[in-house]
Amino acid sequence: MSERVIAPKNRGFLFLDSHPGGCRQLVDEMWQAVPAPVTGGGDGPVALIIGSSAGYGLAATIAGLARAGVRGIGVCFEKSPARRTGTAGWYRTAATAQLARQHGRDMVFLNGDAFSDAMKEQVAGLLAERFGGRLDFLVYSVAAPRRTDPDTGDVYASVLKPVGSPHATKTLVFDEHGVPEVKEVTIAPAEGDDIEQTVAVMGGTDWERWVTFLADRSLLADGFTTAALSYIGSPLTAAIYRQGTIGTAKGHLEATARTLDELLGKSLGGRAVTSVNAAAVTQSSTAIPGIALYVGLLRGVLGSAMVAPIHQLVELWDQLTGVRPLDLDAEGRVRLDTWELAPAAQSAVTQRWSTATSETITELADLDWFSEEIRRLYGFSVPGVDYTAAIEIDVPWPTPTV
């Protein structure tokens, strides 16, 4: 037992501790935001969510459980409580597992490296023993800085750089007193094998490996459907995102979807798609130069008309499970980002971006919302949570009952 009062301590957008009570409350809120389930009764389809503890993967897990009535497995990579608290994803996973249990959904969470074959073996074993040897859905939502290639042991590192020439962008930072500043930074272009390395981490290689690994063991159900998360984004961030190293990886992921779609269509009557989601404040997205400024301005323009990840993922599940037909663009992608890229929204954000300075930023961007979103990633700034009270940090990883 280790109870303590947890105060937010941060360096920039990174916090050293997270709050178990706040994380639990946020997971509850996400669950409550999901409209009534569309389940036909019975056990529900079997789903595997990779990257289940944060951002879009957490939204996929909660929407899958609460809306589509799935059971199955969530995989993520989180740190347990020790001297410091556990990571926020540790506590969110414990809270998600508890809600799943309360709602009678058999959901097992595995903590470890999704890129490894050991994790793939573990999932294959669980599918065979616990879930009838058939997987109906796989949602792939990993954002990681590194991947070890299981065949060679090589470690690849992804970078966030423009391709071809240096790129100067405005960026949003907060000084040590939390005062916002708009700065200009110039990012050097990719060099050496930066592009290949980034594609090796954030492209489609590991997603494809998961699908073929499970297919080779006959663990995919007829009609098996898989979706991986992608992003396009605004022309304002294109040099660093879509036309940059990470965008090249997303292009690879989307090409992988087309290959897998053909393969699964022939063998199982199945599907593989990418889901292009909209900008959201997550630990991964705030690491991308310019994105914090862009998202703050987007919120300034759209306010609560921004569609939260949980609502986007309800829509994705509805399309994957056939509540509504799959609605694909010409490139075969589900588009959940149309509200972000709508011309009116983009021209308003572009206008604000061009005039944004340290002096004007608080009027142009919704920085209160942005700062709260950052804190909420760690379970802080959650209404109804008493941050002056001591709270147990030694929350165990959820173990399945029977």
Ligand X SMILES: NC(=O)c1ccc[n+]([C@@H]2O[C@H](COP(=O)([O-])OP(=O)(O)OC[C@H]3O[C@@H](n4cnc5c(N)ncnc54)[C@H](O)[C@@H]3O)[C@@H](O)[C@H]2O)c1
Which residues in this chain contact ligand X in the complex, by CB under 6 A? 51-57, 75-78, 89, 113-115, 141-144, 229-231, 277, 279-280, 282-285
When the beta carbons of 127 and 402 are compared against ligand X, the nearer one is: 127
In the complex, what is the shortest distance from the CB of residue 76 to ligand X, in angstroms, rounded to a whole number? 4
Task: Concatenate the DSSP letters of all residues of 60-74 into one string.
Answer: HHHHHHHTS--EEEE
Q: Mark whether 378 is an active-site residue.
A: no
**Pair 63, 316: CB distance under 8 Å:** yes
- To the nearest 10 degrees (0 to 180), the angle between helices 55-66 and 309-320 is 50
DSSP assignment letter at 277: P
State how far the alpha carbon of 401 is from the alpha carbons of 99, 100, 276, 348, in Å. Answer: 14, 12, 36, 51
Contact present, 293 and 240 (Cβ < 8 Å): no
Contact predicate 153/281, CB 8 Å? no
Record the tokens describing residue 100, joined without a space. Answer: 């799943």
3-state DSSP assignment of residue 169 = strand
Nearer to ligand X, 207 or 224 (CB): 207
In whole angstroms, the minimum distance from the beta carbon of 269 to ligand X comes to 26
Q: How far apart are CA 272 and CA 267, in angstroms?
A: 12
Q: Where are the strands (E) in 324-369, listed by range? A: 333-335
Measured between alpha carbons, how far is 171 from 184 in angstroms, rounded to an integer? Answer: 6
**Cβ 291 to ligand X shortest distance, Å:** 7
Q: 25 or 158: whose CB is closer to ligand X? A: 158
Minimum CB distance to ligand X smaller for 38 or for 126? 126
DSSP character at residue 12: T
Contact call for residues 245 and 187 (beta carbons, < 8 A):
no
Q: How far is the CB of 88 from ligand X (least distance, A)?
A: 10
Q: How far is the CB of 282 from ligand X (least distance, A)?
A: 3
Residue 231 CB, nearest approach to ligand X (Å): 4
- Which residue's CB atom is positioned nearest to ligand X? 55
Distance of alpha carbon 195 from alpha carbon 185, whole angstroms: 21
Is 186 or 273 the residue whose CB approaches ligand X more closely? 273
Rounded to whole angstroms, the Cα distance separating 186 from 189 reads 9
50 SS3 class: strand
Catalytic position from the list 231, 241, 294, 378: 241
Q: Are the CB atoms for 310 and 61 separated by under 8 Å?
A: no
In the complex, minimum distance from the CB of residue 80 to ligand X, in angstroms, rounded to a whole number? 13
Q: Which is nearer to ligand X, 39 or 55 (CB)?
A: 55
Residue 3: φ, ψ to 5°: -95, 140
Cross-strand partners of 49: 74, 139
Q: Judged by CB, which is closer to ligand X: 4, or 84? A: 84
User: Active-site residues: which are they?
Assistant: 241
